[in-house]
Structure 1
Amino acid sequence: MSLKEYKPGSTFPGTIGRTWEQSSPAWPQPLRAKAGAPNVLFIVLDDTGFGHLGCYGSPIRTPNLDKLAKGGLLYSNMHTTALCSPTRSCILTGRNHHSNGMATITEVSLGYPGYNGTIPFENGFLSEMLSKQGYNTYAVGKWHLTPTEQTSAAGPYDRWPLGRGFERFYGFLGGDTHQYYPDLVHDNHPVLPHKTPEEGYHLTEDLVDRAVDFIADSKQVAPDKPFFMYFCTGAMHAPHHVPKEWVDKYKGQFDDGWDEFRKKVFQRQLKLGVIPPGTKLSRHDPDVAEWDSLPPEEKRLYARMMEVFAGYLEHTDHHIGRLLKSLEESGELDNTLIMVISDNGASAEGGPHGSVNELKFFNNTPESLEQNIAAMDDLGGPKYFNHYSWGWAWAGDTPFRRWKREVYRGGTTDPFIVHWPKGIRARGEVRTQYCHAIDMVPTVLDCLGVEPPQDIRGVTQSPIEGVSFRHSFDDARAESHHHTQYFEMFTSRAIYHDGWRAVCPFPGPSFTEAGEAFGESAITEERLRKLDAEGWELYHVAEDCSETKNLAQEERGKLIEMIALWYVEAGRYKVLPLAALDRAVFAAERPQITKDRKRYVYRPHTSPAPENVAVHVLNRPHSITAKVDVDGDAEGVLLSHGGITGGYTFFIQDRKLHYVYNFVGEREFHIESAMEIPAGRTELRFEFEPTGEPDLDAGKGAPGRGKLFIDGDLVAQSDISSTMPLLISLGEGLTCGRDDNSSVSTMYRPPFTFRGGTLREVVVDVSGEHLHDEQKERKTVMARQ
């Protein structure tokens, strides 16, 4: 007798008698995918411009991604939102970023439906949809889709990956992380890397290893069960980290600078057909220095920064190749629908001169050309948190204008590759149909023959806002089904409609032309009216894809039509009210999971407290008090916040009490007790008292005097003349009883876990007056996207 199954919720088809032998069984049917259903793999690169991949004309070697393009399709007209979290929300839900409440990153959320940083449950994730179709679902790498205040061990966890339909997760929750000392989360708990940089650790390799393992774990048990994997590298976001041998492959290859890079890439793009014949190279950006005008030492530095980026990208491609090879060797590659995309254009967050420690950039601390030149040989290694200058971002978006965070095509038009040998006949062809990140979900559902669910976990679902482009797979001449698409990012606006594109940059086409830097511009009703009257540009991108000929005057009627259409779309998708990143926006009150307090209690063996929820000690008097039972050989960290790029640490070493303040990786201020710590129950305290005001324009926090106390007795004091004004850490949070990942101080090797006694608790008191400048602090928030 064959096994009888029935759909859960339907009538039991067996028979039930008084005893087992008088009855016949039937079983609720297990959830199974359709026979032959393809695997789905999204590969999301970070901050990778249209002109960065080899198959898009770049001299940077990306053979594995190029191979996907050669064996599949390369799309030349794919668009994103110009920023990471908003785009990622589109990729996973098929809805626009404002519909997802993800107008920007969650760190600058506002109390409006399109801006609250909280993706509603009625906007289901593809992972939630496919898990109901019998798929395994995995997320690996960068997330950055959980409200900032919900990323600590206190949760809630319903908007972590496992709360949004992914069965397994391994990666990091924030916008970026150190590639050698990452802030890792496995499922719902933090973990440490399994080896050190000295032992060869790098995050990209680790992510690929874990991705391969996730797939293999399931396939060895259920080989016919398909998977959906959302694989997101930390690359190519800063820090640009890669072993030196990869960097040296490109030595000297960028010595002719970003202007020549653009020209060469542009010619390759024309030859490859990724841009239409007759396309013009967009203008030299007014914010970018002419390469030939730079002094020789700056050229050497900037060229090396690009060598690091190039090595980083080739290294990333190499490890993606390992993932693809594992699929090929297991026989899964041909029936895996792969989509490769970048979340936005190349990043200009390194500023005009680049950075060897982005913590300086985020703290408004000036870069020293001399220090940066001295660091050149170590760029790419774990010592620095480096980012190239924005001339290379501009070049990476060839042939388009501008970069990430802005809505010219340099910010919104990105590489996109589709590979599915079993489902696509065409090989190595270019597709020009207009597409947007919101189209990925409906295309996948179309390929799988699956209708969008009416409800997920009892929540009625909103309509999918993207459209499928599956019809373009085998028909290069097929018309696009995506006719209209709005854009908005920090009040920069654009609208596409059937080959036309209107753009209203904010604060202007460039910072130079606007006379204002990013983050320094407020939007008012009066200014908005002026922008709508005078600030819009119009491009016929069907004939001028690189936006070189502004037709706003010649086609005034068309422009007015486009502006009106933008407002229609804005109303439909919750885009209003417009908000630039000015003082009022940054100072807006946001909900927290706990009330603000003046006393924070930390205990050993607990999870790290992320930067956004850890005690904020900058620019304010504060004390750190450790209650310890000390044995004769006690040593180790009592409390630590930050890492090699900057932070502070309070510890015992050689029977003495120590405090080290690491100012942006540049200088360590060390205070050491004059006496040894006695055995037994003791109270160890550090106090900081500001002796001056912070100078945020100079990138300096409040100077002060640090003091050490043992059982109430002053045992050491010293001035700390340089403190960080805005941000302590680039991801490495606060830990009690140890210093995880990279070490704050060179005086010990991490984790330097406390031993030789009992550390009961550490109390941080911040009841003194907090000196801060909200206007300058807002720049820090925006830097990490």
Structure 2
Amino acid sequence: MGELVTYADGEPFSGVIGRTSDESSPAWPTPPQAREGAPNVLMFVLDDVGFGQLSCFGGLVETPVLDQLANNGLRYTNMHTTALCSPSRGAILTGRNHHSLGLATIAETSTGYPGYNAILPFDKGMLSEMLRPQGYNTFLVGKWHLSPPEHETPAGPYDRWPLGRGFERFYGFLGGDTNQWYPELVYDNHSVEPPARPEDGYHLSSDLADRAIEFVKDAHVNAPDKPFYLHYCTGAGHAPHHVSKEWADKYKGKFDGGWDEYRKVVHARQLEMGIIPPGTELSAHDPDVPEWDTLPENAKRVYARMMEVYAGFVSYTDHEFGRVISFLEEIGELDNTLFLLISDNGASSEGGPVGSLNEMMFFNNVPESMDENLERIDEIGGPNVFNHYAWGWTNAGNTPFRRWKRETYRGGTTDPCIVSWPAQISARGEIRRQYAHIIDLVPTVLDALGVDPPKDIRGVTQAPIEGVSFAHTFDAADAETRHHTQYFEMFGHRAIYHDGWRAVCPWPGPSFTEAAKKGRHYGDPIDGTILADLEANDWELYDLTNDYAETKNLAAENRDKVIDMVGRWWAEAGKYDVMPIDGSMLQRLNVERPSIAKPRDTFVYYPGGAPVPFSAAPKVYNRAFSITADVHVPDSGAEGVLLAHGGRVGGYCLFVKDSKLHCAYNFLGRDMFIVVSDTDVPRGDVALRYEFEPTGKPDFQAGKGAPAQGQLYIDGKLVGAVDMPHTVPNIFSSEGLTCGRDGGSRVASDYYQDDFPFTGTLKRVTIDLSGDLIVDTATDMKVAMARQ
């Protein structure tokens, strides 16, 4: 047989075409093939894990799998992120700065400016889009959080979902977080239910490891020589900190010394391990964090348990990732896998000063109750809560640095990074101190693979990659850094690095306590007057060569250097679309954005459909609305959920049980307002209705939505009512809406345990936000109230 003649797909035919086949010679278009021996790429992106938490970086959270990778490779101790989730994730995948991508913040706080609109441009391709044409399989498991929320429904568009951005397989969640026991899952381009329930031993970390192994195995069986790129993004350690009691109890008593002791111990470990330079001082005690020794014993007990649960969560994630590593070793691919680990930002403070059993309380400005947290201490980490630790642990988790996620001090932006590639990196267990930023990861991978950045992707000319490779440091500990200047901006909090110097302009201040003294608060807008004051008085200056942890502000005695650094910040800001500087939070959450669907007051749902993401569900907060379910009840009766919105930590659910119509309004897992019809639901075609009628104004500062009355109607007749002194002001949960059942965790778990599907015929459910409510007569109202 003759040699097979081939040509690249899309190139001109390289054979010969004559009048007949005997005058012709064939040639075959072939897909791109990776070069012989091309390595696999595995990028592991942790979530909200601080510089001082992993054991391989001196922390007290045991991660033996990551420790082994670090011992078999390199620890980069001068790696930086953007200080927030989606902005970092976009930068990690593209090699461009977050404002260049329109990702100034998360998509939920996007605004109508090029650096802020959260619509990732196609001229800034992702690593998946670069490697797939090079003959790689491309897989993503876990968190995405890079699509505008209005794009995340089954209506699409899907071009900014993972499969639209170069990944061939996807299994995970599209939003910023998810319940680890009851996740909202997407498989490729469609929603799926979790394969099991927590009572069966289900946890998302295990599920993601299973799916990662499946994706790699399926490809390897059919093309053993084809390399893969696996982007592995667990939910750990983002809230909710969910893990089994068995894993949390491994840390029983280990954090009883508190966060102040943790910082001292970890700081000493980091010095001993060489994670931080000799002589690095521990940053000062944060004014927002109470000193551990001043706390009452009950509070210490709750706080210590919160950290035990967090540590168990991260350790369990490490354990499950170990199964992926073991599988790669089993198939002989581990040594030739370029492994990179990074966290997306520093440890998170979203649990507030006292922590939370329900992170949604933070987003609704609802004060936490230490008494309640103590009463429910054994539930922390379990399916009934959506917990997050107190920010004393956040500060400790970023040791030796100050502050945390969402701020551009090093506590928010300096993160653990591991690189391992046994087949090509000869160094083992070494430290690398070269300055680097997550925009450097893509060019480093391309450099290591010998692949040039593509000039175009699917016909779109590509903008330059903004990061620089650090592959030259793999086997050269003393190599010079190639990354000399890097700006930072997050919610108006700004910083600039240049050749060993760092300037920071904190907003609203160095701490919330210090900011409040100036009448400034987190989430406040920045106007021209405030900006002028900030520029003149608030820039701080640090010499990182001698002050690794930003402990000595040198601005007063180095005004010329401050002026130079501030000028550099503005130059970088102009280059990368950072303006306008915006410190606001609530205002951004409520910005009107273009929607895939036209504006409407009426939403119609049908049973059997995919869950509606919480970001696309009707905004029913603090306004009159109605829910009408058109059903047919057979002679034998029917029961089940008609509509559920939210979950166990907040939401509402309309359902039929024991022949009665019910509506449960769950106030953030703390209060349950239930109304039950005083008559049975009749047989035949029936209209079952719930109305929410505000009776006062919300008090957002106190974390209270509008007081309201909830009313039930059967075929237009009032059959029940309940007064609600407060309702949810901003967001029920990160869980969405389901019709005909209660998907995910249960809104009213005391009334039903499974998803409780409706057993009659549910034709449709209509949510009406127009405020058009049934007018009740005084008599009807008195009768209804008398029957409660």
Task: Please give the TM-score of this superposition, normalised by the length of structure 2.
Answer: 0.96
Name the CA distance, whole Å, in 1 between partners of 2:61 and 2:460.
46
Name the CA distance, whole Å, in 2 between partners of 1:521 and 1:704.
29
Q: How is 1:544-555 mapped onto 2 (pairs within 5 angstroms)?
A: 544-555=547-558
Is the contact made by 2:508 and 2:522 (CA closer than 8 Å) also made in structure 1?
no
Shift of 1:617: 1.6
Name the CA distance, whole Å, in 2 between partners of 1:201 and 1:701.
34
Name the CA distance, whole Å, in 2 between partners of 1:582 and 1:740.
30
Q: Aligned to 2:101, what secondary structure does the other structure show?
A: coil
Name the CA distance, whole Å, in 1 between partners of 2:591 and 2:217.
47
Name the CA distance, whole Å, in 1 between partners of 2:406 and 2:440.
21
Aligned to 1:527: 530
Aligned to 2:342: 341
State whether structure 2 residue 683 is matched by structure 1 residue 682.
no
Aligned to 1:749: 753
Name the CA distance, whole Å, in 2 between partners of 1:636 and 1:10.
59
Aligned to 2:565: 562
State whether structure 2 residue 546 is matched by structure 1 residue 543.
yes
Is the contact made by 1:135 and 1:227 (CA closer than 8 Å) also made in structure 2?
yes
Name the CA distance, whole Å, in 2 between partners of 1:184 and 1:583.
28
Name the CA distance, whole Å, in 2 between partners of 1:20 and 1:80.
60
Deviates most, 448-457 or 545-554: 545-554
Is the contact made by 1:579 and 1:585 (CA closer than 8 Å) also made in structure 2?
no
State whether structure 2 residue 216 is matched by structure 1 residue 212.
no
Sort the Cα spacing of 1:360 and 1:452 in 2 relative to 1 into closer, same or farther, 3 A. same
Is the contact made by 1:741 and 1:750 (CA closer than 8 Å) also made in structure 2?
no
Deviations 1:473-516 (A, max 9, x none): 00100000001101111111111111111111111111111115
Aligned to 2:645: 641
Instruction: Return the letter of the residue paired with 1:542.
Output: T
Aligned to 1:588: 591
Aligned to 1:651: 655
Is the contact made by 1:45 and 1:234 (CA closer than 8 Å) also made in structure 2?
yes
Show structure 1 runs of 4+ deviating over 6 A: none
Aligned to 1:413: 414
Q: Aligned to 1:558, what secondary structure does the other structure show?
A: helix
State whether structure 2 residue 75 is matched by structure 1 residue 78.
no
Instruction: Return the letter of the residue paired with 2:82.
Output: T
Shift of 1:22: 4.4
Aligned to 2:370: 369
Q: How is 1:615-626 mapped onto 2 (pairs within 5 angstroms)?
A: 615-626=618-629
Which 5+ residue runs of structure 2 have no aligned equivalent?
Answer: 774-788
Aligned to 2:786: none
State whether structure 2 residue 464 is matched by structure 1 residue 470.
no
Sort the Cα spacing of 1:8 and 1:698 in 2 relative to 1 into closer, same or farther, 3 A. closer
State whether structure 2 residue 713 is matched by structure 1 residue 709.
yes
Is the contact made by 2:493 and 2:506 (CA closer than 8 Å) also made in structure 1?
yes
Name the CA distance, whole Å, in 1 between partners of 2:255 and 2:608.
48
Shift of 1:464: 0.5
Name the CA distance, whole Å, in 1 between partners of 2:540 and 2:726.
46
Q: Aligned to 1:346, what secondary structure does the other structure show?
A: coil
Deviations 1:329-370 (A, max 9, x none): 111000000000000000000000000111222222221111
Is the contact made by 1:620 and 1:769 (CA closer than 8 Å) also made in structure 2?
no
Deviations 1:111-153 (A, max 9, x none): 1111111110000000000011010001110111001111111
- The size of the alignment, in residue pairs, is 768
Sort the Cα spacing of 1:376 and 1:2 in 2 relative to 1 into closer, same or farther, 3 A. same
Aligned to 1:667: 671
State whether structure 2 residue 603 is matched by structure 1 residue 600.
yes
Name the CA distance, whole Å, in 1 between partners of 2:772 and 2:280.
58
Instruction: Return the letter of the residue paired with 2:612.
Output: A
Name the CA distance, whole Å, in 2 between partners of 1:434 and 1:303.
35
Name the CA distance, whole Å, in 2 between partners of 1:322 and 1:166.
22
Deviations 1:532-579 (A, max 9, x none): 111111111011110111111222211111111111111111111101
Shift of 1:517: 6.6
Instruction: Return the letter of the residue paired with 1:332.
Output: E
State whether structure 2 residue 169 is matched by structure 1 residue 168.
yes
Shift of 1:397: 0.3
Name the CA distance, whole Å, in 2 between partners of 1:654 and 1:8.
64
State whether structure 2 residue 456 is matched by structure 1 residue 452.
no
State whether structure 2 residue 53 is matched by structure 1 residue 52.
yes
Instruction: Return the letter of the residue paired with 2:553.
Output: N
Is the contact made by 2:129 and 2:457 (CA closer than 8 Å) also made in structure 1?
yes
Q: Aligned to 2:614, what secondary structure does the other structure show?
A: coil
Deviations 1:379-431 (A, max 9, x none): 11111100000000000000001000001100000000000001101000000
Shift of 1:290: 0.7
State whether structure 2 residue 624 is matched by structure 1 residue 612.
no
Aligned to 1:576: 579
Q: How is 1:143-542 mapped onto 2 (pairs within 5 angstroms)?
A: 143-515=144-516, 518-542=521-545
Is the contact made by 2:491 and 2:583 (CA closer than 8 Å) also made in structure 1?
yes
Is the contact made by 1:622 and 1:765 (CA closer than 8 Å) also made in structure 2?
yes
Shift of 1:722: 3.0
Deviations 1:601-625 (A, max 9, x none): 1111111111111112221121111
Shift of 1:518: 4.9
Deviations 1:642-671 (A, max 9, x none): 111111111111222111111111222221
State whether structure 2 residue 723 is matched by structure 1 residue 722.
no
Aligned to 2:701: 697
Is the contact made by 2:491 and 2:523 (CA closer than 8 Å) also made in structure 1?
no
Instruction: Return the letter of the residue paired with 2:569.
Output: W
Deviations 1:169-226 (A, max 9, x none): 1000111010000011111111110000000000001001000100000000000000
Name the CA distance, whole Å, in 2 between partners of 1:92 and 1:285.
33
Aligned to 1:782: none
Aligned-residue RMSD, C-alpha: 1.4
State whether structure 2 residue 773 is matched by structure 1 residue 763.
no
Shift of 1:692: 2.1
Aligned to 2:134: 133
Q: Aligned to 1:612, what secondary structure does the other structure show?
A: helix
Is the contact made by 1:287 and 1:511 (CA closer than 8 Å) also made in structure 2?
yes
Question: Of 705, 725, 733, which aligns to 2:736?
Answer: 733
Aligned to 1:781: none
Aligned to 1:773: none
Sort the Cα spacing of 1:71 and 1:689 in 2 relative to 1 into closer, same or farther, 3 A. same
Q: How is 1:106-117 mapped onto 2 (pairs within 5 angstroms)?
A: 106-117=107-118
Name the CA distance, whole Å, in 2 between partners of 1:9 and 1:612.
41
Instruction: Return the letter of the residue paired with 1:210.
Output: R
Name the CA distance, whole Å, in 2 between partners of 1:153 and 1:113.
26
Is the contact made by 2:666 and 2:672 (CA closer than 8 Å) also made in structure 1?
yes
Shift of 1:583: 5.7
Name the CA distance, whole Å, in 1 between partners of 2:337 and 2:191.
31
Name the CA distance, whole Å, in 1 between partners of 2:349 and 2:587.
24
Q: Aligned to 1:228, what secondary structure does the other structure show?
A: strand
Shift of 1:594: 2.0
Sort the Cα spacing of 1:517 and 1:641 in 2 relative to 1 into closer, same or farther, 3 A. farther
Is the contact made by 1:366 and 1:698 (CA closer than 8 Å) also made in structure 2?
yes
Aligned to 2:24: 23
Sort the Cα spacing of 1:306 and 1:11 in 2 relative to 1 into closer, same or farther, 3 A. closer
Name the CA distance, whole Å, in 2 between partners of 1:65 and 1:317.
7
Sort the Cα spacing of 1:427 and 1:769 in 2 relative to 1 into closer, same or farther, 3 A. farther
Q: Aligned to 1:271, what secondary structure does the other structure show?
A: helix
Name the CA distance, whole Å, in 1 between partners of 2:416 and 2:463.
28
Aligned to 2:776: none
Is the contact made by 2:653 and 2:663 (CA closer than 8 Å) also made in structure 1?
yes
Q: Aligned to 1:249, what secondary structure does the other structure show?
A: helix
Q: Aligned to 1:333, what secondary structure does the other structure show?
A: coil
State whether structure 2 residue 91 is matched by structure 1 residue 87.
no
Sort the Cα spacing of 1:595 and 1:501 in 2 relative to 1 into closer, same or farther, 3 A. same
